Structure 1
Amino acid sequence: MANTFNIVWSGPKLDGKLDYSYWETLMSTHLKAQNLWNFIEPGLQEGADATQQRRDQLTLSQIHQGVDYTVFGKIANAKSAKEAWNTLKLSYKGVNKAQKAKLQSLRREYERYEMSSSETIEQYFTCVTDLVNKMRVYGEDMPDSKVVEKILRTMPMKYDHVVTTILESHDMDTMTIAELQGTMESHISRILEKSEKSTEEALKSRVNFNNVAESNRTQEGRGRGFNFQSRGRGSFRGRGRANYNQGSYNNFTPPNQGRGGTNFRPVN
């Protein structure tokens, strides 16, 4: 019991910048973990003994530790933990009418929100969960099954095959938001691995094809060099013989055609 009275708040302090719904969730969880939430709801009971009164003041001190100096003035005069808590709640969440207006605004944002092409699965789930938590703080009854349905409905077309697989293999009435996120990330991770493997194999095939083509061009170039030399020698000899024969032919008279054949006579 002695350790119970030495609790130190280690969470963020509520100030003009920190979202109250976020702080409220953290603080309420902290008080519940320390077995102190009953001093907020229902609050310290009349006729409570000294131990209960002391625990109520311990709860109040946790709230004091959780707020910034600029906010402390709002609850400085609170005598109990419940009074301090309700004062902050009214200050940041407003009265019922303002609270309903805020909830309506969150509902519109939630319904319009869809995953963009630049978002990752993790980013999309984080944004949706944040909106849902805010709506729940303002009294919205939002079970996980409705959120799961909304997420699957608003996924981009490139994830249609993943959505179809999940719809066919899971019970949407019992599936949690966290389970859906893990399942989607697992499916997409496997798809990316296969895609990267296919790309790598395609690149290897292209490199091998280029190597074969280059080898064929090299061999073809060598073959052409040999033929060029062969034609060169042949042409030279052919021209030489033609010149020789032409010279010899000039030493003979035109042939006399006859039955006996062709005879050549020297020219005197």
Structure 2
Amino acid sequence: MTKIGDSLPLKIGEGSSSSAAERVMANSSAVELPLLTRTNYHEWSLVMQVSMEALEQWDAVEAVSKDRGKDRRALAMIIRAVPREMKAGLAVRKSAKEAWDAVKKMHAGDDRMKAASVQRLMKQVENMAFRDGENVGDFAMRINGLVASLRELGEEMEDSRVVKKVLRMVPKRLKQVVVAIEMLADIDTMKIEELVGRLQVAEDADAEDQAASSAEHAGQLLLMEEQWEARQRQRRGKEHVHGGIGEKGGGHDDDDDGSSTSSGRGRSRYRGKCFDCGERGHMARNCPRKKKEQALLCNVDEEPTLL
């Protein structure tokens, strides 16, 4: 940034008022000018215009001023705000307007290049869409930047056109808000700033609802997990009860839990080992081997009686 109060090797014309020059230089001591680069012409021209209007020098750029001193002061401001390699070329210009137009042509090009730039920018505006995760404010800044570039090239885009473009491109989560705006507001007279403000309010409310919904869903998942753990504890308790019955009826090996399963007829079938024979599937009291041995003993006891 270059301060206006810096010295400049340009002489004020003879017809200029020294008091006016001193007043302009004094008032401009706190004003800083942007430095022109290869990529910031649009922003540079806007800030320069505002600065020169504040110091009452802009009319010398819009039309050749008859006041030689005023024209030289306007030219001095332009020269201070350009790169070193451009200063000599602009210093020999006949007027501030001629110097300004030269800078503009260097960056905006001739009419054919200007038309091509307009078409390119218009296509970018038409093809604009919300990026993933982009909010309304960021999208509006992007489209406003393109609109400002078009205006600098002399192509005016009405606010209503920009408003309708934004309304067409909003994410699905805000479609209901768009319908309400189209029904209740006059979009032909609405400013883009007003539209962005309304959409941002709705976007913030939607973000709060999503946060609350996520918290509620997380609570539901936690509750389901607690219910599942309670059911698992209940199931383990039932299996422990079945195992206790098996031990009371005849016992089983320590490495088996003694639980039982339901058979096809609805009866409980023991899955542990028999304490008597070591086979699985029955308790000691129902052991087939034990019953067979008892039957043999009975036969042996009865034979002497028969004799």
**1:5 partner amino acid:** M
**1:42 correspondence with 2:57:** no
Offset, 1:214:
0.7
2:202 aligned to 167, 187, 191, which one? 187
8 A Cα contact 2:34 2:48, kept in partner: no
2:49 corresponds to: 28
8 A Cα contact 1:148 1:175, kept in partner: yes
**1:246 partner amino acid:** Q
**1:246 correspondence with 2:294:** yes
Deviations 1:3-31 (A, max 9, x none): 6414255343112x223222111211222
**1:12 correspondence with 2:30:** no
Offset, 1:76:
2.1
2:218 corresponds to: 203
Q: Cα–Cα, structure 1 residues 266 and 232, in superposed 2: closer, same or farther, change >3 Å?
A: farther
Offset, 1:156:
4.7
Greater fraction of residues in helix: 1
The gaps in structure 1 that reach 5 residues or longer are 255-264
Higher RCO (CA-CA < 8 Å; seq separation 6+): 1
Does the residue aligned with 1:231 lie in a helix, a strand or coil? helix
8 A Cα contact 1:4 1:34, kept in partner: yes
Q: Cα–Cα, structure 1 residues 11 and 18, in superposed 2: closer, same or farther, change >3 Å?
A: farther
Q: Cα–Cα, structure 1 residues 266 and 240, in superposed 2: closer, same or farther, change >3 Å?
A: farther
CA distance in 2, matches of 1:118, 1:198: 19
CA distance in 1, matches of 2:124, 2:131: 14
Q: Cα–Cα, structure 1 residues 3 and 266, in superposed 2: closer, same or farther, change >3 Å?
A: farther
8 A Cα contact 2:35 2:82, kept in partner: yes
Deviations 1:51-103 (A, max 9, x none): xx544433322212211113323312135422321221233223444433432
Offset, 1:185:
1.9
TM-score with structure 2 length normalisation?
A: 0.69
8 A Cα contact 1:14 1:71, kept in partner: no
8 A Cα contact 2:174 2:202, kept in partner: no
1:260 corresponds to: none
> What do you get for the CA RMSD once the two structures are aligned?
3.1
2:127 corresponds to: 112
Offset, 1:119:
4.1
Q: Cα–Cα, structure 1 residues 77 and 205, in superposed 2: closer, same or farther, change >3 Å?
A: same
Moved more, 27-36 or 117-126: 117-126
Does the residue aligned with 2:214 lie in a helix, a strand or coil? helix
8 A Cα contact 1:74 1:87, kept in partner: no
Count of residues in Structure 1 that have an aligned counterpart in Structure 2: 251
Q: Cα–Cα, structure 1 residues 211 and 72, in superposed 2: closer, same or farther, change >3 Å?
A: same
Structure 1 residue ranges (4+ consecutive) displaced by more than 6 angstroms after TM superposition? none
Offset, 1:198:
0.7
% of aligned pairs identical?
24
